[in-house]
Amino acid sequence: MKYIIKVEELAQTILGIGVLSLLPFRFSWWLWIILFLSPDIAILGYAISKKTGGVIYNIFHHKGLAIAVAITGFLLKDDILILAGTLLFVHASFDRIWGYGLKYLDDFKHTHLG
């Protein structure tokens, strides 16, 4: 089962990268890496507490929220929101390939992926 989930997440990551390539933004490769990794700043919430860290991490890694941000950007014709939502989606999918799922509030390593 874990293999199927990883393949599914890989497909979603590739789809998201394809969408990113269609957006009108042109950045240097190093800036794309920074933008791609930027949702991981949410891990700083764990410096406050496990519960706060889990909540903040989940907000930045929830694919439903990412899709909502991208759709809002599309409806408002706001390229920045489309970019932000797509990056959040791609980042969350990429993280899940490696087993980093949404966090339960008791521990960073306790995720919805098991």
User: H or E segment at 42?
Assistant: none
- Whether residue 104 is contained in a domain is answered as no
- Give bridge partners of residue 111 from the DSSP assignment: 103
For the entire predicted model, the pTM comes to 0.90
- Whether residue 15 is contained in a domain is answered as yes
Cα–Cα dist 50/43, whole Å: 10
- Whether residue 109 is contained in a domain is answered as no
Q: Which domain holds residue 67?
A: 2-97
pLDDT in tens, 2-37: 889 999 999 999 999 999 989 888 888 889 899 999
- Whether residue 112 is contained in a domain is answered as no
- Whether residue 102 is contained in a domain is answered as no
How many folded domains does the chain comprise?
A: 1
pLDDT in tens, 82-95: 999 999 999 999 99
- Whether residue 108 is contained in a domain is answered as no
